[in-house]
Amino acid sequence: MILIDYGAGNLHSVEKALLAAGVPLRRSADPEVARDADALVLPGQGHFGQVMRSFERSGFAPVVAAHLAAGAPFLGICIGLQLLTRGSEEAPGVAGLGVLDAEVRRFPAHGVSVPQMGWNQIWPLGEPPLLAGVARGAFVYFANSYFVTFPEGAVPSGAETTYGDTRFLSAVSIGRLHATQFHPEKSQAVGLQVLRNFGNVVRGALA
């Protein structure tokens, strides 16, 4: 498993949490190393446009696209989820990878602070393997001003969260593609369970 180092994201915390969850991995800034990986983890935080441009310059974009097209295990975290969409209101004119038929929108500031910073609850949609053993209504850690939205009737499995008047997807699971808007590396026991579950997805794919 490769933890993608493209110059954005809190890699140390993500790496430490994955190892604590018993998930073996290697951090790499070399797209060629990631090309043959059995699983990829894409973290990220910051402005969509800046992060997407950094990701494209890194050379990882076509590697990730090919990995996802092959149906290989993948975990995106925070901006690592948003980069998979067509684009974001945060950076008009900057295209995402377009892997997901989805867009990124800003929270409306209706009685809430934006960004959302801190703990909030997740409510699973279906039975995504990423959330196996995670209680309904479990608290996880968020730091986001934007959220992913799918066309009506096309919402995948994963999890929902409510912030103010907005119900949004806090996790997405489509086949072996898994991604979270929340930060599992900052979500204590629940986050470690999520990361262990991803490790099980990878082992299952290799069995």
67 flagged as catalytic: no
- Residue 47 annotated to the active site: no
How far lies 189's CA from each of 3, 20, 25, 133, 185, in Å? 21, 11, 20, 11, 10
- Active-site entry in 15, 90, 103, 185: 185
Burial of 169 (0-12, 13-18, 19+ CB in 10 A): buried
- Would you call 90 a catalytic residue per the annotation? no
Strand partners, 122: 138
Closest CA to 121 of 139, 134, 135: 139
Phi, psi angles (nearest 5°) of residue 200: -70, -35
Among 15, 67, 78, 90, which one carries the catalytic annotation?
Answer: 78
Q: Which are the catalytic amino acids?
A: 78, 183, 185
